[in-house]
Amino acid sequence: MTDLPRSASTVIVGAGVVGAAAAFFLTERGERDVLVLERDRLGSGTTSGGLGGIRHQFVDELDVRMSQLAIAFWRTFEERTGARHDFHERGYLFIANTTEGVAQLRRPMALYERLHVPVEMLGRVEIAELVPRMRVDDLAGGRFCARDGYGDPLVALAGFAGAAQLGGARFKEGVSVEALLREGDRVTGVHTPSGDVSASRVLVAAGCWTASLCASAAIAIPIWPYRRSIMESGPLPQLASIPLVIEWESGFHFRPKDTAQRFAMPNLTADGREEKGPAGPPSAFPGEFAPLDVPPALEPWVQARAAWRHPAFADLRIVRSWSCYYEMTPDDHPIVGRVPGVSGLFLAAGFSGHGFMHAPATAELVVEEMLDGRARTLDISDLSLERFASGRRPFTAAVL
């Protein structure tokens, strides 16, 4: 790679949507010497595999505030970047089969009211109005926010990357960062097969590969990969405008993609149980990278579950399926900000399935910390790597 620069003011490792968004916010702040290195193609990691959900409905205040900041950006994406990205603001509908599920959905309602997020609890009649003909006789209730919705991670990434390049950032694909370069208590750059690149700042936004890379500089990062699968149906135009629907107990999702439907589902254990998230962290990070194939048991499970939920899915035809890695942390929340004790090194990884929806907020906040010494728009100290070493537990662990 003879055209690889030998130095940059800021190197970003990872050209997923978070890395590209960070490059955009850096150039928007006037930084021109930004180099983004991607070992494969832009968006080839988790960004290429996600369902694209964007929502306010979390149970921790910082998550909701991150969503508010991000969604304000998603609504003005074209104005800010000059590129098109459609945020389909059709809502998120959580449905619960049990009274305990409804009670869990109800618990954060006071938080939503305090933060002025328009979330409402629904009964069967209101749920049936949102998704006509959907089966509701097995439901105990639901929760809905009309200002939630979904977008397209790869389209958004292209917009961020294009705007960042116009602002002076350079993107290099096919460049694997093999190690971080460190001298004492500061980072000095990165090592690639084509040589070293010196930098005064390095942002690692490498998803579930972050732990391995940071280990090269003797930094322990509790992030590991967890395989999840997505499926897409043939055309079902009668459902093209429905909300994103999530079964609270099973973790089964579906939402429109043009005239098709996309489905996300829990993993199935060897004994057939539904697994909405990993049982726990591995003994050492990053742990095992499961093959990115789609387990054969998932398609019949999806067909049966979908047919139970809506008659339009009675003869469901799956035309495409794929798997990707969630980048998990022990509390299902990302690690964002400076690395304690290593000057110039920053992290934005470990989003546990929420990276795309929060990408504009994450990028803006980590760039504030890089350039201003701290994040000013929101206090993100709870997202620091330090919380794991200190034993602080500021968040409620929840993949959904």
In a domain, 73, yes or no: no
In a domain, 295, yes or no: yes
Look up residue 94 and give its amino acid. Answer: F
Phi, psi at 27, each rounded to 5°: -70, -35
**pLDDT tens-digit readout, 217-258:** 999 999 999 999 999 999 999 999 999 999 999 999 999 999
Shared domain check, 315 and 191: no
CATH number, domain at 276? 3.30.9.10
Full DSSP string of 206-269: -GGGHHHHHHTTT-----EEEEEEEEEES--GGGTTPPEEEETTT--EEEEETTEEEEE--EE-
Shared domain check, 242 and 139: yes
* Selection from 108, 98, 33, 103 nearest residue 249 by Cα: 98
Domain boundary at 270, 304, 323, which? 323
Domain boundary at 304, 323, 342, which? 323
Query: How high is the pLDDT of residue 340?
Result: 97
* Selection from 102, 99, 92, 97 nearest residue 150 by Cα: 92
* Selection from 167, 187, 213 nearest residue 370 by Cα: 187
Shared domain check, 342 and 219: yes
Query: How high is the pLDDT of residue 357?
Result: 98
- Name the DSSP class of 127: H
Query: How high is the pLDDT of residue 301?
Result: 97
Shared domain check, 246 and 145: yes
Q: What is the pLDDT along the chain (400 residues), one digit of tens a residue?
A: 459 999 999 999 999 999 999 999 999 999 999 999 999 999 999 999 999 999 999 999 999 999 999 999 999 999 999 999 999 999 999 999 999 999 999 999 999 999 999 999 999 999 999 999 999 999 999 999 999 999 999 999 999 999 999 999 999 999 999 999 999 999 999 999 999 999 999 999 999 999 999 999 999 999 999 999 999 999 999 999 999 999 999 999 999 999 999 999 999 998 889 999 999 999 999 999 999 999 999 999 999 999 999 999 999 999 999 999 999 999 999 999 999 999 999 999 999 999 999 999 999 999 999 999 999 999 999 999 999 999 999 999 877 7
CA distance 287 to 303: 31
Q: Please give the span between the terminal C-alpha atoms of the chain, in angstroms, as a whole number.
A: 41
Query: How high is the pLDDT of residue 2?
Result: 55
The β-bridge partners of 143 are: 94, 121
Question: CB count, 10 Å around CB of 176?
Answer: 16
Strands (E) in the chain, as ranges, are 7-13, 34-38, 53-54, 92-96, 119-122, 141-145, 149-150, 170-173, 179-183, 186-192, 195-204, 224-233, 244-247, 253-257, 260-264, 267-268, 274-275, 318-328, 335-338, 345-349
Shared domain check, 105 and 36: no
Contact 21, 212 (CB under 8 A): no
Residues 6 or more apart whose Cβ sits within 8 Å of residue 219? 180, 339, 342, 345
Q: Which domain holds residue 117?
A: 89-149+227-282+290-323
Shared domain check, 349 and 205: yes
In a domain, 190, yes or no: yes
Domain count for the chain, please give it: 2
In a domain, 79, yes or no: no
Q: Could you tell me if residue 114 is left (phi over 0), alpha (psi between -120 and 50 degrees) or otherwise beta? A: alpha
Shared domain check, 104 and 244: yes
- From residue 381, alpha-carbon distances to 108, 337, 355 in Å are 22, 8, 18
Shared domain check, 232 and 216: no
**Structure token digits, residue 31:** 């930084």
* Selection from 325, 397, 342, 334 nearest residue 361 by Cα: 334
In a domain, 101, yes or no: yes
CATH number, domain at 23? 3.50.50.60
CA distance 224 to 281: 7
CA distance 191 to 194: 8
Question: Whole-model pTM?
Answer: 0.97
Query: How high is the pLDDT of residue 399?
Result: 73
**Structure token digits, residue 51:** 């369902």
* Selection from 190, 216, 221, 209 nearest residue 36 by Cα: 190
In a domain, 397, yes or no: no
Shared domain check, 375 and 231: no
* Selection from 208, 192, 156 nearest residue 17 by Cα: 156
